[in-house]
Amino acid sequence: MRKKIIKITILLLILLVGLGCLNNLFLPEERGNDIWKSFYELPKDTIDMLFIGSSHCFTGFVPMIFNETLNIDSYHIGMAGTSIEQIYFMLIEALKTQKPKIVVIEFFSIRPIKTDSYEAKFIHSAFDGMKLSKNKIEAVNSN
């Protein structure tokens, strides 16, 4: 009986790791996936200013202007339709590899999340590109 439980546990672990690897192969090409992919490629602790929020963030804040004017390195992870709940988990994820001196949160996103099918695509946009982690699981379960 014990050997059977160990075999099942090992099989489940192999499946989870395999699914995590396959996750990146089958992600659709969309803004959220690209943002997370390029974010994870940044060298650790190189961002001075991080912008986070909805489409108002990525259309309103241009990191290159801040970089040139203030002589800093800035980055934005703004995505369309992002709610304040999603921003929380996105910020937690960003702080795993970056320690910005300033975080700018765009507050159009303060609206509460809706649970209809229209909002579901925004949830996917915010979280699908994240690496599989406890934070990602909590983010998906909270929405």
Q: How many CB atoms lie within 10 A of CB 123?
A: 21
d(CA 19, CA 36): 18
Q: Write down the pLDDT at residue 49.
A: 96
d(CA 56, CA 111): 13
pTM above 0.75, yes or no: no
Residues 6 or more apart whose Cβ sits within 8 Å of residue 106: 51, 52, 53, 54, 56, 57, 60, 61, 78
**Would you say residue 114 has pLDDT above 80?**
no
pLDDT mean across residues, the chain: 80
Under the banding of pLDDT at 50, 70 and 90, the label for residue 91 is very high
Answer yes or no: are the C-beta atoms of 128 and 24 closer than 8 Å: no
